[in-house]
Amino acid sequence: MIKQEKKVFTPNATTKLLVDSTLKILKKKSDILDLGCGTGYVGLSVAKKIKFKNNYYFSDLSKKAVELCKKNAKKNRIKIYAKVGSMYNPWEEKKFDLIIESISAIAKKVAVISPWYKNGIPCDCGEDGTELVNDVLKVTKKYLKKNGKLIFPIVTLSNKQKILKTANKYFKNVKLIISKDWPLPKSMYSKKKLLERLKKKGLISYKTKYGLILYSSEIYIAY
């Protein structure tokens, strides 16, 4: 059981895809970093389901998130190392076999109208949602061991092509693990015209089918 709190990002469908993707590719004992850990859901879920013993590291910009992550780890009897800090600042002297990145990456105006970033949860990802994730992609290789890998999500309520362009610039291999469509929350339909404008500008992408607006979550592996 992973406890949640109002001011810490609540795991969603994309978060669960990250867990499934990690379990799919993890084949040996590893040092694993859950970057932008929030409640700790991704790393702790992997730890609970995997058969072999890994070393788990967690970090988040939010002190409240890291405190909650530590509580969840203790509750689930999982040993972890957790630190507060922006991006890789807490891990300057550390390298990992696997980094799972789940830092926010949604266009600013979409985040404002979404149900995902309420109660003071920040989403300062820029106009097209790429600022934080692209900053991570540019420096991640420095924190990976030889043959280390990065798993990261792209939600198409951001500029997907811009993120992939950065990923392909800094990694030799970038491969899609899984893609899944989701219906947009009904509370966002009143802002349909705003979404259409953002789509026309190329800041986000989505599909329409049977009167529904569908966005996608895509999980990639880079190495």
The number of angstroms, rounded, from the C-alpha of 108 to the middle of its chain's C-alpha atoms is: 16
Give SS3 for 81. strand
Q: Are 195 and 129 in contact (CB under 8 A)?
A: no
Residue-level pLDDT at 205? 96
Those residues of the chain that have pLDDT short of 70 are 3, 5-11, 119-122
Residue-level pLDDT at 115? 85
Report the distance separating Cα 199 and Cα 205, nearest Å. 5
Residue-level pLDDT at 105? 87
Residue-level pLDDT at 160? 96
Report the distance separating Cα 115 and Cα 90, nearest Å. 30
Domain regions of the chain by residue span: 13-222
Residue-level pLDDT at 123? 72
| pTM, full prediction | 0.91
Residue-level pLDDT at 154? 96
Residue-level pLDDT at 119? 66
Architecture of domain 13-222: 3-Layer(aba) Sandwich (3.40)
Residues 56-81 have pLDDT tens digits of 999 999 999 999 999 999 999 999 99
